[in-house]
Structure 1
Amino acid sequence: MIEEKMLILLRQGKISKWFSGIGQEAISVGVTKALKDEEYILPMHRNLGVFTSRNIPLNRLFGQWQGKQSGFTQGRDRSFHFGTQEYRIIGMISHLGPQLGVADGIALADMLRRKKRVTAVFTGEGATSEGDFHEALNVASVWNLPVLFCIENNGYGLSTPTKEQYNCKNLVDRAKGYGMESRIIDGNNILEVYTKVDELCKAIRKRPRPVLLEFQTFRMRGHEEASGTKYVPDKLMKKWADKDPISNYETFLLAENIISKEEIEQLKDAITTEINSNLQLAFDESEVEVVETKELKEVYKDFEYQHIESKSAVKNIRFVDAVSQGLEQSMERYNELIIMGQDIADYGGVFKITEGFTAKFGKSRVRNTPICESAIVSTAMGLSINGMKAVVEMQFADFVSSGFNPIVNYLAKVHYRWGEHADVVIRMPCGGGVGAGPFHSQTNEAWFTKTPGLKVVYPSSPYDAKGLLNTAINDPNPVLFFEHKGLYRSVYGDVPEDYYTLPFGKANLMREGDELTIVSYGAALIWVTEILDRNNNVSADVIDLRTLQPLDIESVYTSVKKTGKLIIMHEDTLFGGIANDIAAMVTENCFEFLDAPIKRVGSLETPVPFAKNLEGNYLPKERFEKALIVLHNY
């Protein structure tokens, strides 16, 4: 009845879009009713029955679909693209696949806490072709996670029939490849859905494991209403209309004398009143007020930084040791901090950052993962949703491209969309100069500084690496933590042996001078100091940014106003790099203080080459020295 009302409102232009679940209601209701209220469920576009079965106030649903303040996203997203911790519902994003991995993370947290719970996640048959589907099933199977993977096989992915989407007889046949159980269920029979899912839930709570379910059903409306159903043969439409789950259930209840026609009419009258009164509440609500400061503020969850000073002696250690020490002390500080990555357990990771961690913290907290970056980032998001912290190690920063979607579209946007935070740190061993070639040498921070909702940290010293990593793990927002692998075993520094933190968004003035300002970070900062040592006639302020998001641009302004000249170097290729934004902001805000054009230096606009002489030409060290001398003499 809600759907029928929405279709009217859509035609009237009072809502912008609608994804109909007419004909599929038995799946949403049956699965939700088989779960306990405290168990998470992750629905899709067509699962209105999940929300009504969990008794979400209708005025809030209607407000959501009209973009009102009472909606769960306060006008920032539409449809069922939202979650609510109160009702243990986590909505999907349009990219579909990542929520399957999120379910893995939620279930993992329950399993680690020994809570006998099930997590149910929905997908359509179309999304089973996405890599995230296969990654999530594999992770769930390897880790024996208590997840119900619910495929609503409704015949079409938009207009593409199933015969053009996959070539196996049934989608559950795929479960064999992952070593998991599976079931085919008549998705239009509410009693079969509820009974079989309830039985499975009880079994999974006793013995955790994943199960793949294929609910056979049909989509009676368009993918969304604008698409229509002209591509569906009339005969097929009539066949499934005869299997309508609601009308058939009504017929069954009447035949069994469980309900009467009069009672059905009374129910419909009551529901009509409930729908109309709640719609009126949504209609009466004013449009969302535009408050720019609020919009900017709610991109990130509030984080009150707590500065913790060291109380111990310092020790001269390598960059790699500082990272390992910070990670280890954070694991001690948070007993629900989980580390995930390839080869990080007994092997200790390819850079040996986590060597010895399994002996101290156990394999439940230091988890080797399959090679599936996207699912593991999504799993980290699920751990956060269920109240834990996660650190994910990308074996090399280059490999983050395989997990790019959940980082930039889920983690980055989740707080702005519906107020949920992503308590996830992604460690990024990066950088060239070690002859590792195009796929193991990138420094790709610019991919992420452009994305609102992410924080980007890039230390250049062991002291900063440890303190900033501790802060990154404390911060409830998603952090990309770049660690230049060329610094791991070549750079030493005095580092306190105990736990301490350093603030984000505060650059470090490493050297002071009055002739020009040099801005850099990471390994490039080390190159700056080497070059200045060779050119000791140059008196320069040297600013180590340390964090790129948030960016301490005020420190740059202060220095430029003093020196009148600015040169910026980063190891990343120049075009699209952060040097461009810094140069633009200084031009806009300090133009009258400049005595020379701003210089920007970055790596050559090519992939990172392997041969030593080619890589040396690629990196910006020599170009920086030449540009520095030109600027100094200007």
Structure 2
Amino acid sequence: MNFERRNLSDDQLLDLYKRLLKPRLIEEKMLILIRQGKVSKWFSGIGQEAISCGITAVLGKDEYILPMHRNLGVFTGRDIPLYRLFSQWQGKAAGFTKGRDRSFHFGTQEYKIIGMISHLGPQMGVADGIALANKLKKNGKVTAVFTGEGATSEGDFHEALNIAAVWDLPVLFIIENNGYGLSTPTNEQYRCENLADKGVGYGMEAHILDGNNILEIYNELSEIVESMRTNPRPVLIEFKTFRMRGHEEASGTKYVPQELMDMWAEKDPVDNFRRYLLKQNILRQDKDDQWREEIRKEIDDNLLIANTEADIKATYEQEVGDVYAPYDFEEIKPGSETENIRFVDAISQGLRQSFERHENLVIMGQDIAEYGGAFKITDGFVDLFGKDRIKNTPICESAVVSAGMGLSINGYKSIVEMQFADFVSTGFNPIVNYLAKVHYRWGENADVVVRMPCGGGTQAGPFHSQTNEAWFTKTPGLKVVYPAFPYDAKGLLTASINDPNPVMFFEHKLLYRSIYQDVPTNYYTLPLGQAAVLREGKDVTIVAFGAAVHWALETLDKNPEISADLIDLRTLQPLDKDTVYKSIKKTNKVIILQEDSLFGGIASDIAAMITEDCFEYLDGPVRRVASLDTPIPFTKALEDQYLAKGRFEETLKELVAY
């Protein structure tokens, strides 16, 4: 291995060696503990330490790093107290996730480290968002994100690189090419000779470095990173290295040819650099022995702290209480001046006034800038707020949602507009596995609103007409809002943007230009989780949301003899059970109307809750009316048959007469 010190001082060289030595000695201890059954799982980075340690040494401590589970050197390089890492691995309270996640699946704002999730890919989009925030702040900071050669096959990898290139984001994309994705060798993962070649396809600068040579890593990256700070842009680095242990310890390495193991053992990054320093008389043997003893003592002392820490005691209140970030709703009352506007205008007005109120608010979506979006909701916003905040995106929902998460991590609020709610399926993973879980896992806000133009009645067919709220109402950590009127849409949208939790905001397309209402012209907010009672009666309770509210109103107007409480839920998560239960205890009958297909919809959960909590008040069966359990069709006759609207009146009359 050829080491070139260039202009590095002896102290700098020794510092790099100590950075390498510490994670190696921790790893050696962990391998003993796992054999003793004292650690449940371990992902070894032995043989790859130079990459983590070199990158961490190059970046400033205020620059974010997004490592993976084989990057212990990032955590030790940021001087995290070892007992906290040991507590994390043992599921103790002094860790970073309160026992809710293991390994390096956590983040810490204190040390500017954002750990991975098991799905790997989304963290690259998160890095885009962090870097976008840095670019908006014009602070000259670089973000580094790790991935393995296996994860470069994921769509998130391509989406994140493309976004970073199009937006000139200062992201250092790091590929640790260690030869195997668990047991699958690289020749079964991709056909290009070098993964760095993929950078060319995105118009991105790319380099290949020896992942076992700490000086090559440090020297080359020092120049690259300094250049990125003054000339913001993404750079892709492929590090050639090797994993000397199994994917995790239980999997072993029997699938690796022994000659390959022997070859890479000779390239060990710690041993080779140690021999170089000894040969150059930069490191003395007694000093090396002293450091090793000091580090081993630090490990043992901190293990004792972690081992003597009490085990976590589960409490219902804490577990449920940590699903959402704390938020004190700020009520801003509507003014007396109103104008009669459409649903779509109310959404646009709420967005515009939120942008005026929050200088750190960014919206991302397809065709939302000069074109104004598919429904013209952001028309004129570029002139008002500039393209830095009104950002057209490539067609890549997953990385855009992840970028929203990154913006939140780095102090921004974001809105992601799905061109149609149906398209959220390609951004599903980061919503349900990152945004929804991040506060519960390690206390981070996901200050992201995902706008969802949805619903049928426009003959748009199976891919532009779904109302897919049930995909999200069952996912803890998400809030789901679904207004039916312009007044509610504006006030709930502004409140959703204020809320530090992830909000799925459904906007029914059929209502956009068909429903008018007098809406206050000022900025105001409405609390999430409060239903509205639109009609009051004594015979039956009708529970609905979205377009279904208008179907119910039409039915009641057509049948004035039916005396009903009509409840517009407005928010599906959190759900206002109290208003529903209070009405049922008065009317003793309930019917739930939803546009989504029946099986698995939120009406089923509401019906179950009513049966459990209000059974003694019921004078009839809890009825559900929903659309057919088929995809939503295109032709009007088929769509009319599909939608629940045509079956509601008959079912309502049957229940009233029961």
TM-score by structure 1 length? 1.00
> Secondary structure of the residue that 2:528 maps to in structure 1?
coil
Aligned residue identity for 2:330: Q
1:409 to 429, 433, 438: 433
The equivalences for 1:272-291 within 5 A come to 272-291=296-315
1:324 to 332, 343, 348: 348
| Distance across 1 between alignment mates of 2:577 and 2:342 | 29
Query: What is the CA-CA distance between 1:589 and the residue it aligns to?
Result: 1.0
> Secondary structure of the residue that 1:509 maps to in structure 2?
strand
The equivalences for 1:4-403 within 5 A come to 4-403=28-427
CA RMSD of aligned residues (A): 0.5
Aligned residue identity for 2:616: E
> Secondary structure of the residue that 1:86 maps to in structure 2?
coil
- Percent identical across equivalent pairs? 68
1:482 to 490, 496, 506: 506
| Distance across 2 between alignment mates of 1:312 and 1:70 | 52
| Distance across 1 between alignment mates of 2:611 and 2:463 | 35
> Secondary structure of the residue that 1:487 maps to in structure 2?
helix
| Distance across 2 between alignment mates of 1:16 and 1:440 | 46
| Distance across 2 between alignment mates of 1:292 and 1:7 | 35
2:527 to 484, 493, 503: 503
Aligned residue identity for 1:277: D
> 1:460 and 2:484 equivalent?
yes
> Secondary structure of the residue that 2:335 maps to in structure 1?
coil
Aligned residue identity for 1:559: S
> 1:584 and 2:608 equivalent?
yes
> 1:602 and 2:626 equivalent?
yes
Aligned residue number for residue 571 of structure 2: 547
| Distance across 2 between alignment mates of 1:594 and 1:98 | 47
Aligned length: 634
Aligned residue identity for 1:178: Y
Aligned residue identity for 1:583: A
The equivalences for 1:488-567 within 5 A come to 488-567=512-591
Query: What is the CA-CA distance between 1:623 and the residue it aligns to?
Result: 1.0
Aligned residue identity for 2:601: G
| Distance across 1 between alignment mates of 2:652 and 2:340 | 31
2:595 to 565, 568, 571: 571
TM-score by structure 2 length? 0.96
| Distance across 1 between alignment mates of 2:620 and 2:361 | 49
> Secondary structure of the residue that 1:87 maps to in structure 2?
coil
> 1:2 and 2:26 equivalent?
yes
| Distance across 1 between alignment mates of 2:204 and 2:496 | 37
1:566-622 CA distance string (max 9 Å, x none): 000000011111111111111111111100011101000000000000000000011
| Distance across 1 between alignment mates of 2:539 and 2:39 | 60
Aligned residue identity for 1:246: V
Aligned residue identity for 1:476: P
1:146-168 CA distance string (max 9 Å, x none): 00000000000000000000000
- Contiguous gaps of at least 5 residues in structure 1: none
Aligned residue number for residue 475 of structure 2: 451
> Secondary structure of the residue that 2:75 maps to in structure 1?
helix
Aligned residue number for residue 619 of structure 1: 643
| Distance across 1 between alignment mates of 2:79 and 2:362 | 33
Query: What is the CA-CA distance between 1:124 and the residue it aligns to?
Result: 0.2
| Distance across 1 between alignment mates of 2:67 and 2:107 | 10
| Distance across 1 between alignment mates of 2:253 and 2:549 | 60
| Distance across 1 between alignment mates of 2:37 and 2:473 | 38
1:416-435 CA distance string (max 9 Å, x none): 00000100000000000000
> Secondary structure of the residue that 1:275 maps to in structure 2?
helix
1:493-524 CA distance string (max 9 Å, x none): 11000100001111000000000000000000
Aligned residue identity for 2:290: Q
> Secondary structure of the residue that 2:510 maps to in structure 1?
coil
Which range moves more in the overlay, 97-106 or 306-315? 306-315
Query: What is the CA-CA distance between 1:14 and the residue it aligns to?
Result: 1.2
> Secondary structure of the residue that 2:406 maps to in structure 1?
helix
Aligned residue identity for 1:240: W
> Secondary structure of the residue that 1:317 maps to in structure 2?
strand
| Distance across 2 between alignment mates of 1:266 and 1:380 | 47
| Distance across 2 between alignment mates of 1:598 and 1:86 | 51
| Distance across 1 between alignment mates of 2:604 and 2:614 | 15
- Contiguous gaps of at least 5 residues in structure 2: 1-24
Query: What is the CA-CA distance between 1:311 and the residue it aligns to?
Result: 2.5
> Secondary structure of the residue that 2:208 maps to in structure 1?
strand
Query: What is the CA-CA distance between 1:216 and the residue it aligns to?
Result: 0.3
Query: What is the CA-CA distance between 1:8 and the residue it aligns to?
Result: 1.1
Aligned residue identity for 2:104: F
1:225-268 CA distance string (max 9 Å, x none): 01100000000000000000000000000000011111111001
1:26-58 CA distance string (max 9 Å, x none): 000000100001000000010000000000000
Aligned residue identity for 2:540: L
| Distance across 1 between alignment mates of 2:589 and 2:480 | 26
Aligned residue number for residue 436 of structure 1: 460
1:543-578 CA distance string (max 9 Å, x none): 000000000011111000000000000000111111
| Distance across 2 between alignment mates of 1:565 and 1:481 | 30
| Distance across 1 between alignment mates of 2:453 and 2:292 | 60
| Distance across 2 between alignment mates of 1:470 and 1:608 | 31
Query: What is the CA-CA distance between 1:312 and the residue it aligns to?
Result: 4.2
Aligned residue identity for 1:136: A
| Distance across 1 between alignment mates of 2:78 and 2:220 | 20
Aligned residue identity for 2:480: V
